[in-house]
Amino acid sequence: MPLFAEPKPPPRHPFREHPFWRQVLFVAAAITALAAMRPWIEVQFTSMFGEYSGPPGWQSSAGFTCLCTSALIAVMALAETQTMSARQAVRPASFLLAVVMTLSLALHLIRGPGDLRGATATWTYSFYVGASTALTVLAACAVRFAATSPKTNRPHPGP
């Protein structure tokens, strides 16, 4: 019977993330891409000027950014493996892309819908759906990024 035993290494528990945010990311990215394929502006006063919708959203710079960025973020999340190095590479990049996409949409919103064929235009439901799901993509990327960032042990100020 040995008097001294070597300490057992602590059990390794691989980081298991709840799949909720990953699913939210995929659904929101798909809806954002689909919303960018629909018209984002239409004539505001249809009784005076008739019903007319503008080009699909992806034909604007913000819409193209939404379409490509949401697809790229989804592909990056699909390619992400369970290793810590893959998560540390993919998640900050996804978060950065989501920030750029959201800023592009915000600037597009501030600029306003403009006009169509000389008539005042207004945003369509596709634009509002795309903008809200882009914010959802940003939130999902932020939560996933925060889950991977290392926790720092800060010393507490002493008395």
Give the residue numbers spanning the domain of 61. Answer: 20-148
In this structure, are residues 84 and 15 in contact, taking their beta carbons and an 8 Å threshold? yes
Long-range contacts of 146-149 (CB under 8 A, 24+ apart): 147/17, 147/21, 147/91, 148/84, 148/87, 148/88, 148/91
CA distance 87 to 90: 5
* Structural domains counted in the chain: 1
In a domain, 12, yes or no: no
Higher pLDDT, 4 or 141: 141
In a domain, 156, yes or no: no
pLDDT digits (tens, 9 = 90+) for 72-84: 999 999 988 777 8
The pLDDT, as a whole number, for residue 120 is 81
pLDDT digits (tens, 9 = 90+) for 26-73: 999 999 999 999 998 887 665 555 666 778 888 899 999 999 999 999
In a domain, 159, yes or no: no
In a domain, 41, yes or no: yes
Question: What's the mean pLDDT when you consider all of the chain?
Answer: 83
Q: What is the DSSP annotation of 28-42?
A: HHHHHHHHHTSB-EE
Please calculate the CA angle 108-98-112 and round it to the nearest 5 degrees.
10
The pLDDT, as a whole number, for residue 86 is 80
The pLDDT, as a whole number, for residue 13 is 46
In a domain, 11, yes or no: no
Phi-psi region at 117: left, alpha or beta (left = phi > 0; alpha = psi -120 to 50): left
Would the pTM of this model clear 0.75, i.e. be above it? yes
Is 92's pLDDT higher than 80? yes
Please list, in sequence order, all residues whose beta carbon lies within 8 angstroms of the beta carbon of residue 143, skipping any fewer than 6 positions away.
21
In a domain, 76, yes or no: yes
Window from 11-20, 39-48, 111-120, 144-153 with minimum mean pLDDT: 11-20
Segment holding 97, helix H or strand E: helix 84-111
